[in-house]
Structure 1
Amino acid sequence: MLRPEATGRERLAPASADLVPRVKRAFLDLLFPPRCVGCRKVGGWLCSECRDAIELLRPPLCPRCGLPTAKGKLCFRCQRASLQIDGVRSVAFFEGPMREAIHRLKYFNSQDLAVPLGEMMVSYWWQVRSPADVIIPVPLHAKRLRERGYNQAALLARELGKGVGLPVLEDALVRVRETSPQVDLNAEERKENVRGAFHCPADQLAGKSVLLVDDVYTTGATLEACNLALRQRGVRAVWALTLARARQGDVRHPVW
């Protein structure tokens, strides 16, 4: 059965359930104060200066993939590609402080970064207003989830759900097949790598509009595979919001 991710204090039962982790985190922050991922300034994971330095992707945009284009027309690639997803929007290009922030969130257990990054997604969502009934994070395979300990897309989705008032369904999409890291693959290899890798285990989403959430958009292969799994369960529309995207042609974006 699909469960909306509880938000705010609804997750706390009893209300003090997270007191110990918060005290522990505060103590560690005193011993090892967080530094900005962009400029290394002490005081937070992403300082206001570096956050302001991130150039948001603003209209006019390609209506399909969200790449900035002249007069909001389809970009060169989308004119020739047969994308099935209704549309993708990304907050910024995968470079500079944004690149460093995603790197820290994804590979260095800097889960606190999900809060400021999630806030950026919330702010951007209110500008682009992707239509959706529910939010679904792109899932990790169970083995990868055990190794990492968390799904960065789920962390971002929770923050987005709280900010825009939409339910987050973390078990609505399952990665049923372990796949190779996409970073070393070209566009066609990426598509084949994730073919059949996702499954939607229930049909409660029939007729719904879904907003997929992920960290980085490169070729769209992963989002397209998720889209197919959701469509097979009768989902009416699938949109996606990612924190960052590679520039067109930058297939092998430099993620460690």
Structure 2
Amino acid sequence: MIRRGLARLARPLFLARSLFWDEVRCPGCGRVAPAVPDLESSLCPDCRLALAPREGAACPGCGQVSDMPPELPQALPVLCPACQESPRPWGRLLCWGAYEGRLRELILAYKFEARLDLGRQLQECLLAAFERGAGTFPELCACELVVPVPLHPRRLSWRGFNQSRELARLLARRRGLPIRQEALVRVRRTVPQMELDRARRAENIRGAFAASPEVLAGRTALLVDDIMTTGSTLEECARMMRAAGAAQVHVLVLARA
């Protein structure tokens, strides 16, 4: 299994430059376009537009975008009816965009095809989601450590990397926060959540994680994952972290399904 994971990582990365020095190939769609030396992003204009942050006020509990018309802005996003009735086990949840279109394509390619050349673009989106959220909710600035949602060791050896940890690296570096993977470990192998319906996901993930009181007690943690679907995995992680003594847990995801 380890050999298979290494083989996936050793797979040649998608060609970023064409045969001509004055052209680049967009890592998102593969289109060749003129190089722009002073532009940080290597994505083409269409892909950059497709990755623009979503519009609308999002529920700070689950990330669901409100149907409120844009001409009626709120002073602060408020909890949706579902989160008011059944509060989530975390403080705030932030996400960059909906799990659809180009963002979904890039996440799937990065995660399952070892397209590590897409990592920087996705890291930038995750960082921007946090910075935007911190401007609205100052309590997010109290985060003291970053905790990626862990993979089971067998899944990690197969994939070769934990996408949540890799996506969090830029944020951690810019914010000066340590990534503490040992704060949360996966102790039970489960069926991939994406293979289950909504009703079975919570049962499938229950008891799959263990949290460290030595790392978390009295501290505010930022829990990071790539995708939130029903939220069952994140809820289980946050509950275990709070049970281990975390003062607060906030959640940051790249995409919300």
Same fold (TM over 0.5): yes
Partner of 2:48: 51
125, 132, 137: which one aligns with 2:130: 125
Identity %: 39
CA apart distance, 1:182: 0.8
Partner of 2:86: 81
Q: List per-residue Cα deviations over 1:97-116 (Å, max 9, x = no partner).
A: 10011011100001221211
Q: What does residue 29 of structure 2 align with?
A: 39
Distance across 1 between alignment mates of 2:32 and 2:219? 44
Is 2:213–2:245's contact at 8 Å kept on the other side of the alignment?
no
Q: For this pair of structures, how many residues does the alignment match?
A: 224
Post-superposition offset of 1:188 = 2.5
Tell me, yes or no, if structure 1 residue 103 matches structure 2 residue 108.
yes
Q: CA deviation at 1:29?
A: 5.1
Return the offset for 1:28.
Answer: 6.5
Counterpart among 84, 94, 101 of residue 99 in structure 2 = 94
Q: Which region of structure 1 is more displaced relative to structure 2, 91-100 or 128-137?
A: 128-137
Tell me, in whole angstroms, the C-alpha distance in 2 between the residues paired with 1:209 and 1:215.
Answer: 20
Q: TM-score, length-normalised on structure 1?
A: 0.78
Partner Cα distance (1:146, 1:217) in 2: 23
- SS class of match (1:203): helix
Report the 3-state secondary structure (helix = DSSP H, G, I; strand = E; otherwise coil) of the residue aligned with 1:244: strand
Which residue identity does 1:40 align to in structure 2? Answer: G
Separation in 2, partners of 1:27, 1:241: 28
Equivalent in the alignment of 1:112:
117
- Aligned CA RMSD, in angstroms, stands at 2.8
Q: CA deviation at 1:58?
A: 4.8
> How far 1:142 moved relative to its partner?
0.3
* Deviation larger for 145-154 or 35-44: 35-44
Structure 2 counterpart of 1:249: none
Question: Can you list the C-alpha shifts for 1:158-213, whole angstroms capped at 9, x where unaligned?
Answer: 12212222211122210100011111222231111110111113423211111011
Distance (whole Å) between structure 2 residues aligned to residue 119 and residue 245 of structure 1: 17
In structure 2, the partner of 1:195 is: 206
CA distance in 2, matches of 1:55, 1:77: 27
Q: What whole-Å deviation, never above 9, does each CA across 1:61-84 have from its counterpart, x for those lacking one?
A: 212112222343322432343421
**2:176 corresponds to:** 165
- The 5 Å alignment of 1:147-166 reads 147-166=158-177
CA distance in 2 between partners of 1:59 and 1:230 (Å)? 30
TM-score, L = length of structure 2:
0.78
Does 1:228 pair with 2:233?
Answer: no
Counterpart residue number, 2:60 = 63
- Residues 100-153 of structure 1: per-residue CA shift (max 9 Å, x gap): 110111000012212111111112211101341111110000000000000110
Using the TM superposition, give the Cα deviation of residue 45 of structure 1 relative to its aligned residue in structure 2, in angstroms.
Answer: 6.6
The AA in structure 2 aligned to 1:36 is: C
Cα 1:112–1:75 shift into 2, 3 Å: same
Letter paired with 2:53? L
Closer/same/farther in 2, CA of residues 27 and 119 from structure 1, 3 Å limit: closer
One-letter identity of the residue aligned with 1:97: R
- Structure 2: segments with no counterpart, 5+ residues: 1-10, 34-40, 69-73, 135-139
Would you say the 8 A contact 2:61–2:87 is kept in 1? no
Check if 1:182 corresponds to 2:193.
Answer: yes
Uncovered stretches (5+) of structure 1, i.e. residues with no partner: 1-23, 247-256
Answer whether contact 1:37 1:104 (CA < 8 A) is retained.
no
